[in-house]
Amino acid sequence: MKRRVAILISGRGSNMAALIRAAAAADYPAEIALVISNRPDAGGLKKAAASGIATTTIESKSFNNDRSAFEAVLQSTLDQHRIDLICLAGFMRLFTAEFVQRWYGRMLNIHPSLLPAFPGLEPQAQALRAGVKISGATVHFVIPQTDAGPILMQGAVAVHDDDTAEALAARILEIEHRIYPAALRLVAGGQMRFEGGIWKTSADAAPAVLISPAVS
C-alpha cells in the first residue's frame, strides 16, 4: 500500500511540483494526498490543485506566535487525511520540539547545501563566501535543531569562479528536484535502515569520485 504524504509549503512549491510529478508514476511507493500552506497566497496551492491534489491553508499569522495552537490544527488536519509522511518544501515556519518528535523519522526536509555545511539562511551565499568548489542539496529527516537531522540523500554541483548566489541556487534547485523524489521513494519504499545513528540504504552507490575544478 502506498504511503500517504502531505507536503507543507509557504511559497511557489517548486519542490512540491517535483514530488507530485514523481508520485504520478504507477510504481512510486507514495501518493501525495494533501498540500498544506501556512499562507493563503502561496503559489504552490494553485499548482497542486491543478494536479488534482487536495489543498488546505492553515494561516499561521492568525496564531501569532502560538506554535502549539497552530500545530494542534495542523495535526488534526494530518490525522483527518491519514497522513503517513510529511515533506517540507519551502515551509517557512519553525515547529516545536514536541511536534518534531511526534513525526521523527516521518518528516523530511530539503536544504540547498551539503549539510552539515551552511545550515540556515542564504546557504548559497555562505558557500560562495567560504570559497567551496562543490556545493549542492541535502534531504534529511527533521529534528528540533534547524537543518541538522539525519541525512538521507545528497546531490552535488560544481561551484564556478564567477558564480552569483542566484546562479548557484538555480543549479542546486535542479538537483533538489532530482533528489527529493528519489529520497522519498527510498523512505516510502522501506529501503532505509538506521545503523549507528546514520540512515543507510540498499540503493546503488554513487560515483566514486567527484572533483572540482576538473583534473586530468
Residue whose C-alpha is closest to residue 90's, from 11, 35, 154: 11
Instruction: Indicate the pLDDT class of residue 208, thresholds 50, 70 and 90.
Output: low
Query: Strand 198-201 to strand 192-195: parallel, antiparallel, or no bridges (unpaired)?
Result: antiparallel
SS3 state at 97: helix
Give 201's strand partners: 192
Fold entry, domain 111-216: Rossmann fold (3.40.50)
Catalytic residue among 111, 140, 160, 177: 111
Q: For 172-190, what is each residue's pLDDT tens digit?
A: 999 999 999 999 999 999 8
- Every domain range in the chain assigned CATH 3.40.50.170: 1-103, 111-216
CA dihedral for 76, 81, 87, 93, sign (positive or negative) = negative
Fold entry, domain 1-103: Rossmann fold (3.40.50)
140 catalytic residue (yes or no): no
Instruction: Indicate the pLDDT class of residue 65, thresholds 50, 70 and 90.
Output: confident
Q: What is the pLDDT of residue 193?
A: 83
Q: Mean of the per-residue pLDDT values for the chain?
A: 93
Higher per-residue pLDDT: 117 or 204: 117
Is residue 87 within 8 Å of residue 8, measured between CB atoms? yes
Asked whether the predicted pLDDT for residue 158 surpasses 70, the reply is: yes
Q: What is the pLDDT of residue 203?
A: 65
Is residue 114 within 8 Å of residue 140, measured between CB atoms? no
CB-based burial, 115-125: b 16+ in 10 Å, e otherwise? beebeeeebbe
Q: What is the pLDDT of residue 204?
A: 66
Mean pLDDT within 197-208: 72
